[in-house]
Amino acid sequence: MIQRTIFKTLQDHFFDRKAIVVIGPRQTGKTTLLRQLASTYGEYLYLDGDDASMRQTLTDPSYERLNQLIGDHRIVFVDEAQRIGNAGITLKMMIDRFPDVQLLVSGSSALELGDTINEPLTGRKWEYHLLPISWEEWQKHNDFLTVQQQLESRLVFGMYPDVLNRIGNERDVLRDLASSYLYKDILALSGIKKPEILEKLVVALALQCGNEVNLTEVGQLLSVDKNTISSYIDLLEKAFIVFRLPALSRNVRNEIKKNQKIYFYDNGIRNAVINNLNPISLRQDKGILWENFLVSERLKRNRHHKTYAKSYFWRTTQQQEIDLIEEVDGALKAYEFKWNHRSKVKEPSAFAKAYDSTFEVITPDNFTDFLIPSPETK
């Protein structure tokens, strides 16, 4: 079992009279993580939101019904809570009426779960995201040399747990993930009437990964208006398929101000969507894969270690650009990503003149330090 970085953080929150809520994409190990966490304290009550009879039981239950259900259990794990009607009200009752019970909650999407529990559970929950396995978690599970040798495979097949646990069968696993699970929560919870538009949009975003996305142009390509495109991208974000990176714009007159880049949370899903799982040696998009991998892995690192970094890209109309800029406590750090470690890269002069920032080029030679904090910085 791959040890997740947030395990100890979750454990530290036990029995402080708040629910522990873990949300994230399907198949990232939420159930496994919370079962492991609960089992460290002995027996626990498992309530499966995917089970129809359990959904009925947990939808608007009385206190007496919950008391009968919980009994003497000190730990209650509600899995796939987004499937339960009025889940927030039920969870709030569990927290308020059973203060000595530790409530664990999982959800596969921020779509329904976020809308239904945020208000009822205000001040009553610790919420964390569980994404695909991070490079740090994978290296700790193996050893430095082994994971370094797998870098090219990870750029193609990604970091989903089932992908990592089924080396040699990655193609089948990814195709199943991309077809069976990718849109499940969106289509079930958002009322989208034209799922074919959503699927075409994901392909378009995958092909534009690492480039600025013009919503009007994408809308014209798919014959829908830009507001629809924007709302669909918002749904894809809430389902943890993609995330946006805004432009940094403060000092330079010709900076790009409103555009955004869109990245995938996992390289494997991105490649499965465009049906290209060829090895790195046969690909023309090496730079895109490298950039998406580093941006998504850095996002995991920052969340796991609570760096509270705000992330941006930067570009001017004269095509000077920087792949990633992070701001922490007002200090800026700029990063350029190059798959070819021999590439000669200098900090753009307009950026250097306008901003007080460090600048670093990340290549396969030094990326480990970029993704895994040193012990003294954790």
- 128 has a pLDDT exceeding 70: yes
Q: Tell me the domain boundaries of the chain.
A: 7-129, 135-377
Amino acid at 279: P
Tell me, what's the pLDDT at 58? 94
CATH superfamily of 7-129: P-loop containing nucleotide triphosphate hydrolases (3.40.50.300)
57-102 confidence digits (pLDDT tens): 999 999 999 999 999 999 999 998 888 888 899 999 999 999 999 9
State how far the Cα of 152 lies from the Cα of 283, in Å rounded to an integer. Answer: 11
Per residue in 285-344, pLDDT (tens digit) is: 999 999 999 999 999 999 999 898 999 999 988 888 999 999 999 999 999 999 998 888
